[in-house]
Amino acid sequence: MRKITFLTLSCGILLAACTLPSPPAQQQQNASSSSSSESAAFIELQGEEIGEGMPATEERTESGALAERFLATGILEVGNAHAPLTLLMITEHHCSYCRQFLFEIFPRLKTDFLDPGTLKLEIAMLPLQKYQKSTDASIGFICSAAQGKGLVMHDALFRNPNKSKEAILSYAVDLKLSTALLDDCMKSARTKMLLESQQIWAQSLGVEVVPTFFLNGEKFIGLPYYSDLKGRITEALKQQKEQEE
């Protein structure tokens, strides 16, 4: 682990991230326009160096509280499809900060914004080249999402250190996925193309670390304090409401 300094959009927020190696053009344009108004504040990150589609499925999670949809781009969308705000998260299953987001921040985000339907979360995967099984984990996640079980596999991949294809198939048994369908999907050239397209798209957005977030196109980097993330979302909701009035 070593410390890396990045220029970010945020002011005075402590972030943590693992450094890394495509949805909508509108988000690309928003990210580009956001960069022109970046603050001059540098934020010190601890990281690791690395080298729109229509819903295909929609199911409830194990808790019954959230809908999840697998998009044609290979992205998992969680929450109210018509939510006024979208939080895109680019993540990876070996990244400790990404794991921290799932276990510490996501439950609070769910309670405050996802359950009420004011925010939807989109999850995109980017493999870290330094981890041998990173691509297998990302593909396993995509293929589980295609069966409507993306969130539970996402959880399993963060909880279990073994992220090999064989391990993913064993997790699938416990999660009640079709292992035959999962195996075929993980072998599919189309699935690999989906993952590669996400990598190319992320590179076009200037993504260099995981996790990286885009809130309705506004880019911010690394693991935020929840109070800061909540403040961003609350302010964005307020601005949207004022525009509608």
What is the model's pLDDT at position 16? 63
| Cβ-based burial of 100 (10 A; exposed 0-12, middle 13-18, buried ≥19) | middle
Amino acid at residue number 83: A
Q: Return the sign of the alpha-carbon dihedral for residues 180, 137, 89, 231.
A: positive
What is the model's pLDDT at position 46? 32
Residue identified by tokens 């929840």 is: 226
What is the model's pLDDT at position 176? 96
What is the model's pLDDT at position 129? 87
Task: Count the neighbouring beta carbons within 10 Å of the beta carbon of residue 169.
Answer: 16
Task: Count the neighbouring beta carbons within 10 Å of the beta carbon of residue 73.
Answer: 18
State pLDDT tens for residues 32-80: 444 333 332 222 333 333 333 333 333 444 444 589 999 999 999 999 9
Low-confidence ranges of the chain (pLDDT < 50): 1-15, 20-64
Please give the model's pTM, rounded to 2 decimal places. Answer: 0.77
